[in-house]
Amino acid sequence: MSEQKHTFCRVCEPSCALIAEVSDGELISLKPDREHPVTKGFACHKGLATLGLHKDPDRLNYPQKKVGEAFERISWDEAGRDIAARLADIKVRYGNDAVASYAGNPLAFNALAGPAIGSFLIKNEIRLNFSSGTQDCTNKFAGSEAIFGSSTIHPVPDIAHTEFLLIFGSNPRVSHMSFIFIADPMKALREAKHRGASIRFVDPRKNESVKGVGGDLWQSHVVHGQWRAPA
């Protein structure tokens, strides 16, 4: 007999509320929690695809080592020893700064990964560390700290009273808007467009949110550092 459990998505910081259907300890389905007071029934495709990712036949569940043109399964101990030996060799040949780390979502929201990775970096004297935050989030942290006094405070965008909205490199139809609090960004944009607000997207690629908002929206394209409006 299946039962429903309240949970949330751990892929990124909005932590969209979900309802999980569980039977005999196995996840059967996921759906948005429409009664949640914060996310109000919204969840982007990443969280809802959790079951598909978990059961994907291409999911990597154990270490593999490339032998010739194929990959062979090895033990975790063997993988750890091999990686450690290769890292040590690189550092001997080229110095400690030849090794850097990169972390992204959902690893950043893994409660066990943070301390483990930190210990690994310190022990191996790796000082060059990068993340998805250095690409698209650091400016928001700096802005929140300058305005609100803390980088962890997410601003609430007043889209309901905005007359002109200029959106740089954000695609809320594909991914929930990061480090600002808004339950359903596409709904808010559609409502703003319906009441007459002007919405402009600036993106180097075709932005699916333009079509999702509806109406005759304008999107500029950045080409070699210059703006170009579509014909």
Q: What is the DSSP string of 120-139?
A: HHHHTT--EEEETHHHHTHH
3-class DSSP state for residue 200? strand
CATH number of the domain within which 47 lies: 2.20.25.90
Question: What mean pLDDT is reported for the chain?
Answer: 84
pLDDT given at position 99: 94
**How many structural domains comprise the chain?**
3
Whether residues 37 and 78 fall in one domain:
no
Q: Residue 229 — very low, low, confident or very high, per pLDDT cuts 50/70/90?
A: very low
- Residue of higher predicted confidence among 202 and 86: 86
Indicate if the pLDDT at residue 108 is higher than 90. no
Residue with tokens 């059967």: 28
User: Does residue 33 lie in a domain region?
Assistant: yes
Backbone CA torsion sign across 60, 66, 71, 75? negative
pLDDT tens readout for residues 63-80: 999 999 999 999 999 999
Q: Does some domain include residue 127?
A: no
26-32, strands of its sheet edge to edge: 2-8, 17-23, 26-32
160 shares its domain with 195: yes
* Ramachandran area for residue 150 (φ above 0: left; ψ -120 to 50: alpha; else beta): beta
Residue 193 lies in a domain: yes
Domain assignment of residue 157, yes or no? yes
Give 105's pLDDT tier (boundaries 50, 70, 90): confident
Pair 30, 90 in one domain = no
pLDDT at 223 > cutoff 80: no
Same domain, 82 and 43: no
More confidently predicted of 187 and 137: 187
Residue 148 is assigned to a structural domain of this protein:
no
DSSP assignment letter at 109: G
CB 44 within 8 A of CB 16: yes
List the domain range (segments joined by +) for residue 14.
2-55
Residue 42 has pLDDT above 80, yes or no: yes
The answer to whether residue 45 is domain-embedded is yes
Range 108-133 average pLDDT: 86
Residue 28 falls within a domain, yes or no? yes
Q: Are residues 159 and 204 in the same domain?
A: yes
